[in-house]
Structure 1
Amino acid sequence: MNQASNPVEILRELEALCRRNAHPLPSQVEIKEDWVGIGFRLGEHRLVAPLGEVVEILTYPGLSKVPGARDWVRGIANVRGNLLPIMDLGGYLHGRNTVSGRRSRVLVINHKGVFSGLIVDEVLGLKHFLPEEATDELPTEDPALRPYLESSFRSGDELWGVFSMHRLAETPQFLQAAV
């Protein structure tokens, strides 16, 4: 640095020196947010529920029957001291109850006061989808499923329908569990 007497000149020389020796800023990397959901199977349909709409996944619990309830209401389970109504999602949608097996699971939802467990054939784990995998194409023409499908994702050859647990919990027919 030269011996400048003017303070403004000293600052300019210092700034120039810093700019010559400064490292460049790191390049900006675009981060893509994955869409994450719980994959599950209902019959032959592969569906995915938004992660925030499922509060817990349970193995098939012991149940107490509920007299006067619809066929798709399997019963009430005691889950850590809380009573949880258990509904058969396949039974509700298609009128035929799911045959419970060792892969059957219960997806627990809690939305606007509706705290319920939904029996599904199998839980397929967390599913991650990139934004470019979203599609307007729905995976089925099934009229019972269509009202609950929000969108879908295509991953390879598979089409995963996004099943809205919140929409299900707000459906008047679902809330009418008594015969």
Structure 2
Amino acid sequence: MSELAAKRGVVMVAKKALFLVFCIGNERYALKATEVAEVLPRLPLKPIAHAPAWVAGIFAHRGIMVPVIDLSALTFGLMAQARTSTRLVLVNYQPEPALEPRWLGLILEQATDTLRCDPEDFQPYGLDNRQAPYLGPVREDERGLMQWIGVADLLTAEVRALLFAPDLIVGEA
């Protein structure tokens, strides 16, 4: 704390960020709230032919077609349970900073809580999980570990090509 701040009685506050907390099975995960566009109830989806099993489908929201993935199915191969707390969460998906963000729907179980904490509370967990680059650092609290999900890393280039128009496909001219 600076001398001037100390004289004025100002307390330095750590940088805190808001996270949406959800579960996959009994494990807790978090999305940075700035990446969340909207939280909706679970809605009927139109299936997408030849998509991976974890691609739940597509729906129209405010005149825009939004692809939806089931994060539980992507991560562990088990479809999300249809609970009253299961939500369809729209995130601002932007795999490259030069591209415009697009909506991507995520089916998330128990997506009803938030957490405000310093993002630096999440620390690398020491595993090289190349099959799931979206699984980020972890944070420990009295309830155990919580893992940060990296929205930009959710989709491979192949799945992006299936779900989005070419302007969002990295590497295409």
Residue 27 of structure 2 corresponds to 45
**CA-atom RMSD in angstroms:** 2.9
Question: 2 CA distance for matches of 1:78 and 1:46?
Answer: 29
AA aligned opposite 1:129: C
88, 99, 112: which one pairs with 1:124?
112
How far is 1:144 from its partner?
Answer: 8.0
Residue 155 of structure 1 corresponds to 141
**Correspondence 1:73-84 to 2 at 5 A:** 73-84=55-66
Q: Aligned pairs, how many? A: 152
Any conservation in 1 of the 2:55–2:68 contact (CA below 8 Å)? yes
Residue 4 of structure 2 corresponds to none
Residue 3 of structure 2 corresponds to none
Residue 168 of structure 1 corresponds to 154
How far is 1:177 from its partner?
Answer: 4.7
**Correspondence 1:55-134 to 2 at 5 A:** 55-112=37-94, 113-130=101-118, 133-134=121-122
AA aligned opposite 1:155: D
The answer for unaligned runs of 5 or more in structure 1 is: 1-24
The answer for unaligned runs of 5 or more in structure 2 is: 1-6, 95-100, 164-173
Q: 1:165 to 1:58 in 2, by over 3 A?
A: same
How far is 1:137 from its partner?
Answer: 3.8
How far is 1:142 from its partner?
Answer: 10
How far is 1:176 from its partner?
Answer: 5.6
Between structure 1 and structure 2, the one with the greater Rg is 1
Question: 1 CA distance for matches of 2:128 and 2:27?
Answer: 10
How far is 1:166 from its partner?
Answer: 1.4
What is the TM-score of this pair, normalised by structure 2?
A: 0.71
Question: 1 CA distance for matches of 2:120 and 2:51?
Answer: 43
Question: 1 CA distance for matches of 2:131 and 2:27?
Answer: 10
What is the DSSP-based 3-state SS (H/G/I as helix, E as strand, rest coil) of the residue aligned with 1:83?
strand
Q: Could you tell me the percent identity over the aligned residues? A: 23
Deviations 1:58-99 (A, max 9, x none): 110122222333322222212232221121112222233223
What is the DSSP-based 3-state SS (H/G/I as helix, E as strand, rest coil) of the residue aligned with 2:73?
helix
Any conservation in 1 of the 2:122–2:148 contact (CA below 8 Å)? no
